Homo-oligomer: A and B are copies of this chain.
Amino acid sequence: MSGPDFDEEFKRKLGELFQWRRDVRHFKADSLPDGMLERLVREASLSPSVGFSQPWRFVRIVSQEKRDAVIRSFEESNAEALNAYSGTDRDNYAKLKLSGLREAPVHLAVFCDEETLTGRGLGRATMPETLAYSATMAVYTFWLAARAEGVGAGWVSILNPDEVTRELEVPDGWKLIAYLCVGYPLEESDTPELSRAGWESSDDRSSWLYTR
């Protein structure tokens, strides 16, 4: 079987997609077109998974009560994180906007079903964490496919995962991987917001390949 040919033009644009995918924390109020979220989740299901276990579970949060509970969890965790910094770091951290939870039209939680029988355990006896990594790659496929549609996602990891999991009333054995804000970004950029804000700069990209 012969696959599609990916020409130079596609590869150039794919590089642009990687370059312009951002962690978005500033959203417009506009909602997504009907069916877009479903389409992006289906695309995300083409992600690699250990033993073809397909452990990703996407949960859209529409309940205002649950959204508010997540916002509270973020605010508490963010206040604690601030308190762990001091001096200039503390001043700088306080200025960062680290989530778009209040504005984003869509809240989307991604879980890993740690008890799935799909794949019959293949490939994860010695490295069970590859199941969570599989769900992580589905988050990223969603993110890339969304960006190609002009839709931004922001990954909020500053929250209490146990609290959020309990609040969302998901089945036992589902582990929270990512909590995403999704919507149209207020601005686009090829540079991470933390870099633009002066928090952290880009490492030397040629320095990550070692030889043994």
Residues of A within 8 A of B (CB): 1-4, 6, 10-11, 13-21, 23, 37-38, 41-48, 50-54, 56-63, 66, 77, 80-81, 84-85, 89, 93, 96, 98, 118-127, 129-130, 132-133, 136-137, 139-141, 143-145, 147-150, 155, 157-161, 168-170, 176-178, 187-190, 192, 194-195, 199-200, 202-203, 205-206, 208-212
Give A49 to B196 CA distance when docked, in angstroms. 15
Give A170 to B209 CA distance when docked, in angstroms. 12
**List of 4 A-B pairs having minimum Cβ-Cβ separation, nearest first:** A3-B188, A18-B46, A52-B200, A52-B194
Give A129 to B161 CA distance when docked, in angstroms. 11
Complex contact B160–A126 (CB within 8 A): yes
- Of the candidates B60, B124, B169, B177, the one whose C-beta lies within 8 Å of that of A133 is B177
Task: Given A48-B21, A120-B199, answer yes or no on A38-B132 (Cβ-Cβ < 8 Å).
Answer: no
Complex contact A205–B126 (CB within 8 A): no
Beyond contacts A6-B13, A14-B14: 6 other A-B pairs, Cβ-Cβ < 8 A, are A11-B145, A11-B149, A23-B48, A77-B126, A93-B122, A136-B137
Contacts of A176 in B (CB 8 A): 127
Task: Given A132-B133, A137-B137, answer yes or no on A157-B126 (Cβ-Cβ < 8 Å).
Answer: yes
Complex contact A188–B1 (CB within 8 A): yes
Complex contact B148–A194 (CB within 8 A): no
